[in-house]
Amino acid sequence: MKDQFGRRIRYLRISVTDRCNLRCTYCMPEEGLAWIPKPEMLAYEEIAEIVRQMAALGLERVRITGGEPLVRKDLPDLVRMIAAVPGIDDISLSTNAILLPRFATALREAGVARVNVSLDTLDRDGFEEIARRPARRFDETMEGLRAAEEAGFAPIKINCVIMRGLNDHEVVDFAEITRERPWHVRFIELMPVGENLHLTDRFISTDEVLEKIRSIEDLLPDPGPRGNGPAVYYRFPGGAGTVGAITPLSHNYCERCNRMRLTADGKLRTCLFGDHEVDLKGPLRETGRIEGAVAEALAGKPKRHYLELGTAAGSGGLAALSQVGG
Ligand code: SAM
Ligand code: SF4
């Protein structure tokens, strides 16, 4: 699968649900969103069939995300189906970790190799403010991280969206973790989407975040862990893990984009932002085939996003990243 700019697409992020057990302030309104009705959602067998047909076109890697993917029932069943698809050599998961104590081992056995865990604060009160759910959920997140380590997921990446005045005072604490633990803590720039445009004054560039960390000790450039993403990595001298920067706004990396996204209701999106999406569910349910729709999506993959506009238009009218799998 190649797009019109010659970018080879081999990575699909699959959102298995738009629902979530948290309400991260940058991601989802406190009252939730208008959830996709259950009959509109792709069944696991349908998702696996899409992966099968795309793998025949060159897809190699899959990430399962959401919403919170672990709130969907029997997720290990889907993982097993995807793991059985010839050509798929990497399955990873993005999660807030709350349900990992229950599911980590089953997911690992089913074929998930790696997890990315969202963790925006190391503080229980900060968690209540950012995730807008009781602090016991923070304790569960930390238990989830332990469960991920025990289950043998590697590498473990932590995704941390940094917001001025909310958690930017914690960046050094986050970085310090990487001296002892083989975790890869990635600082993500806040992306403006429909529901959180009121947060734009919280934006802080990863350049500024890295400067704060460098004021403690120098950071050495590092190749970072294996993965699909656009993060740039650094390491404290002798550190067990790394610090990463994901910079959709300050340094756009669209020219290296290798991915597409599948929404929980079967839309193939070729860019995180923008309003172009092609329906796969209709052709799949009507004809059993999706190649034509995939080709149409590839042909329309835009050269880049225009997110820095900081407007609803810049994010293509997208209300929340939870709708498209982040
Ligand atoms: N619930 C899972 C989680 O939190 O990891 C998976 C879905 S979540 C939408 C995927 C990623 O998107 C998370 O790392 C989250 O922090 C990030 N994200 C969501 N909204 C964002 C925003 N407006 N700006 C930057 N990152 C965002
Ligand atoms: Fe849920 Fe993840 Fe969005 Fe937080 S970032 S509200 S955990 S989907």
Neighbouring residues of 157: CB distance < 8 A, sequence distance ≥ 6 = 114, 115, 116, 117, 183, 184, 185, 186, 225, 227, 244
**Model confidence pLDDT, tens digit, residues 262-296:** 999 999 988 766 667 899 999 999 999 999 999 98
With beta carbons less than 8 A apart as the criterion, state whether 277 and 268 touch: yes
Helix (H, G, I), strand (E, B) or coil at 89: coil
Residue in 82, 2, 60, 53 with CA at minimum distance from that of residue 289: 53
Contact 261, 324 (CB under 8 A): yes
Dist. CA 253–CA 185, nearest whole Å: 19
165, 244, 255, 289, 293 from 187: Cα distances, Å: 15, 6, 21, 39, 35
For ligand 2, what atom is nearest to the CA of residue 131? 4
Q: Measuring CA to CA, which residue among 107, 109, 125, 200 is closest to residue 117?
A: 107
pLDDT confidence of residue 2:
77
Whether pLDDT at 228 is above 60 = no
- What distance in Å separates the CA atoms of residue 316 and residue 318, rounded to the nearest whole number? 5
User: What's the pLDDT at 266?
Assistant: 97
Chain mean position to CA 37: 22
Question: Residue 205 is encoded by which pair of tokens?
Answer: 């560039």
Full set of structural domains in the chain with CATH: 11-323 (3.20.20.70)
* Mean pLDDT over the full length of the chain: 89
d(CA 286, CA 208): 51
- Pure H helices in the chain: 44-55, 75-83, 100-110, 124-131, 136-151, 171-180, 206-214, 281-287, 291-299
Q: Residue 26 C-alpha to ligand 1 middle, in angstroms?
A: 8
Distance (Å) from CA 179 to ligand 1 centroid: 25
- Per-residue pLDDT, averaged over 132-139, amounts to 97
CB 26 within 8 A of CB 199: yes
What pTM, to 2 d.p., does this model score? 0.92
Cα(315) to centroid of ligand 2, in Å? 18
State the distance from the centre of ligand 2 to the C-alpha of 2, rounded, in angstroms.
Answer: 31
Measure the CA–CA gap between 185 and 224, rounded to whole angstroms: 10
Residues 6+ apart with CB under 8 A from 259: 9, 11, 12, 13, 228
Q: Which of 161, 166, 259 to mutate to test the pocket of ligand 1 (most atoms within 8 A of CB)?
A: 161
Q: Best substitution site from 27, 31, 129, 323 to test ligand 2's pocket, by max atoms within 8 Å of Cβ?
A: 27
How many C-beta neighbours within 10 Å does residue 109 have?
13
Q: What percent of the chain has pLDDT over 90?
A: 73
To test ligand 1's pocket by mutation, which of 23, 94, 228 has the most ligand atoms within 8 angstroms of CB? Answer: 94
| Residues 47-85 pLDDT 10s | 999 999 999 999 999 999 999 999 999 999 999 999 999
Q: Which residues line ligand 1 (CB under 6 A)?
A: 20, 26-27, 65-66, 68, 94-96, 118, 159, 161, 188, 190-191, 193, 196, 321-322, 326
**pLDDT of res. 179:** 97
